[in-house]
A and B are shown apart, each in its own frame.
Chain A
């Protein structure tokens, strides 16, 4: 004990001394600051503009804080802005997006996780081929599949409906999600699976009792991936929804911002943009913590 402390005193202590203003540090922090500004500045402009009234916006001082703070643009963006005939703001799009995102996320994660599980643990005849085709699917550009997909949905009689869009999202999310789950399940020791089979658990028994409880982290990852991906989707929303009433939030945002009638209400546009981005943002904030905790829990081996 004493020896150790004496030795510690004799040797070098503390962190390695550094020159604070070395040219290397100047470069490093300089770059970091410039990059942060690059990202923060637009956000700053957006927030500030959205809190100004139109007269103040017209003054053109885009970097300055509002002289008179008003939340009117936010209210208008949410519940009053007009697209086409509807004048109930983004709120309609928000609820549409919720109705699209929630079932799509749940459906795609359920199907993909069962897919991945079956592919890795119940290797049936042709499972490798099946997997290869699935992965190959993720390399085909979306554009190629859009039209056939439209025809297919039309034939099924669900083209233009929210249900149709949910199915589209589920299908397009399948390759990457299946790959994600398959690879995660592959890391779970095979003997665990064998033990469960000897214990008489079947396909679903093993999935629910053994695999699911061990796979929380990957479910969180899939959740983040899908929620943000589907919420932010624009292309499928435009293509597969035919009625303006059913447009998801992103498409509606576009319509509000790009509407040609009347004056451009920059403050409302800014507020609307931020409202649309709010959901993925919140997801990142909440799940960030959960995500880390999930990873840590998964790392504790039994």
Chain B
């Protein structure tokens, strides 16, 4: 596969603050990459570096094999969509779409053709002669996407394009972006801190923290086999249950308080014996039953249950540890009930407490 974007040892400092730290990222052609991470982790900064809107401190950036580290934003073959739409308020929609093309001194027929095509794809033809002020949020974001579209580029950069929209519009446009990607097949780098967007849109997700990519993998891999404690806790809502304990018997069992959990069938490397380890279990990978099963269940006490429409969330206490389990909504459990949580060890994750890495 050819690379569409290659980032080599990218470092960016704002004065004394290091925001991106020797970051490496390869994006394949046509790939949809989502940058996900908590606020301030450097997602927008990375995107701005790719776009050429920030001067990087060190490293190199290649787009379509060309070294664009010091190229102007308009010469990099990228289109960008911003969170605040960033439409030129004094120009009509048509003016907004064609501004970049006029700057590139394209002939008028070509401009008209591209504007027509983009507005057809995004269904904004009736809006072409309006000013951005007379558009709704969803329409504005369509126009902003259109402005990237007319540039006829291979790489699209999105910086939280949907986070200013209400929930309904957001899911509509999310689907639309996905449709756009499958139609145009260009490379997309998409910043968000919405997990649903990340999981639904991405071919691969890059989870970032403190200017470092923690894990870059397919959504399912990120979800099922998070490479470290941070990724495990960041992805998934409610977040993964973490049981602090130790691995014993040469790594064949996990000891949580007095409870022993059999690790046969664990999907990962050699567990080994560790005096301190963390067992991570997702709320949907636990099963509530009334009878204990030696080596496979954890005793717990029901605290609250929260019906959430499609399913319901049960909050329990296992010893001192707060846990949550997702159950079918019909299953009602009275607070104070003693239950046993069946562990599906093939979907669990074990982390070394000291290094926080998955084993």
Q: Which residues of A contact B (CB under 8 A)?
A: 189, 191-192, 194-201, 205, 209-210, 213-214, 300-302
Q: Pick the contact of A194: B72, B80, B151 (CB < 8 A).
A: B80
Q: Pick the contact of A191: B74, B83, B133 (CB < 8 A).
A: B83
Among B60-68, B96-104, B218-226, B327-335, the one that faces the other chain is: B96-104
Do B99 and A199 touch across chains, with their CB atoms under 8 A apart? yes
B36 an interface residue at 8 Å Cβ cutoff? no
B79: chain A residues at CB < 8 Å are: 198
Most buried by A among B87, B90, B132: B90
A214: chain B residues at CB < 8 Å are: 89-90
0 or 1 for each of B69-86: is its CB under 8 Å from A? (1 = yes): 000111000111011101
Using A194-B80, A195-B147, A300-B133 as known contacts, list a sample of 12 further A-B pairs with CB atoms less than 8 Å apart, ordered by residue number in A: A195-B86, A197-B72, A197-B74, A198-B74, A199-B74, A199-B100, A200-B104, A209-B88, A301-B133, A302-B89, A302-B131, A302-B132
Do A191 and B82 touch across chains, with their CB atoms under 8 A apart? yes
Do B73 and A197 touch across chains, with their CB atoms under 8 A apart? yes
Alpha-carbon distance A189/B79, docked complex (angstroms):
19
Given A189-B84, A191-B83: A197 in contact with B103 (beta carbons within 8 A)? no
Q: Which residues of B contact A (CB under 8 A)?
A: 48, 51-53, 72-74, 78-80, 82-84, 86-90, 99-100, 103-104, 131-133, 147, 151
Do B99 and A194 touch across chains, with their CB atoms under 8 A apart? no
Do A189 and B133 touch across chains, with their CB atoms under 8 A apart? no
Alpha-carbon distance A301/B131, docked complex (angstroms):
11
Some 15 contacts from A to B, beta carbons below 8 A apart, are A191-B83, A191-B86, A192-B88, A195-B86, A196-B99, A197-B73, A197-B74, A199-B74, A199-B99, A199-B147, A201-B103, A214-B90, A300-B89, A302-B87, A302-B90
Given A198-B100, A201-B103: A213 in contact with B90 (beta carbons within 8 A)? yes
A interface: dominant SS: helix
B147: chain A residues at CB < 8 Å are: 195, 199
B104: chain A residues at CB < 8 Å are: 200
A210: chain B residues at CB < 8 Å are: 88
A194: chain B residues at CB < 8 Å are: 48, 51, 53, 73, 80, 82, 86
Do B103 and A199 touch across chains, with their CB atoms under 8 A apart? yes
Alpha-carbon distance A198/B149, docked complex (angstroms):
12
Alpha-carbon distance A210/B103, docked complex (angstroms):
13
Do B88 and A198 touch across chains, with their CB atoms under 8 A apart? no
Do A196 and B88 touch across chains, with their CB atoms under 8 A apart? yes
For the complex of A and B, list the 9 residue pairs with the smallest distance between their C-beta atoms, beginning with the closest. A302-B89, A200-B74, A199-B100, A200-B103, A191-B86, A213-B90, A195-B86, A191-B82, A302-B132
Do A209 and B51 touch across chains, with their CB atoms under 8 A apart? no
Alpha-carbon distance A301/B90, docked complex (angstroms):
10
B53: chain A residues at CB < 8 Å are: 194, 197-198
Min CB–CB distance B351 → chain A (angstroms): 39
Alpha-carbon distance A200/B151, docked complex (angstroms):
10
Alpha-carbon distance A189/B164, docked complex (angstroms):
15
Do A191 and B84 touch across chains, with their CB atoms under 8 A apart? yes
Alpha-carbon distance A141/B78, docked complex (angstroms):
51
Do A198 and B80 touch across chains, with their CB atoms under 8 A apart? yes
Residue of B nearest to A205 (CB): B103
B74: chain A residues at CB < 8 Å are: 197-201
Do B89 and A198 touch across chains, with their CB atoms under 8 A apart? no
Alpha-carbon distance A199/B100, docked complex (angstroms):
4
Residue of A nearest to B131 (CB): A302
Alpha-carbon distance A205/B99, docked complex (angstroms):
10
Min CB–CB distance B30 → chain A (angstroms): 21
Residue of B nearest to A188 (CB): B89
Alpha-carbon distance A191/B48, docked complex (angstroms):
11
A205: chain B residues at CB < 8 Å are: 103
Min CB–CB distance B86 → chain A (angstroms): 4
Do B90 and A195 touch across chains, with their CB atoms under 8 A apart? no
Min CB–CB distance B54 → chain A (angstroms): 10
Min CB–CB distance A194 → chain B (angstroms): 5
Alpha-carbon distance A199/B99, docked complex (angstroms):
7
Alpha-carbon distance A198/B131, docked complex (angstroms):
21
Min CB–CB distance A208 → chain B (angstroms): 12
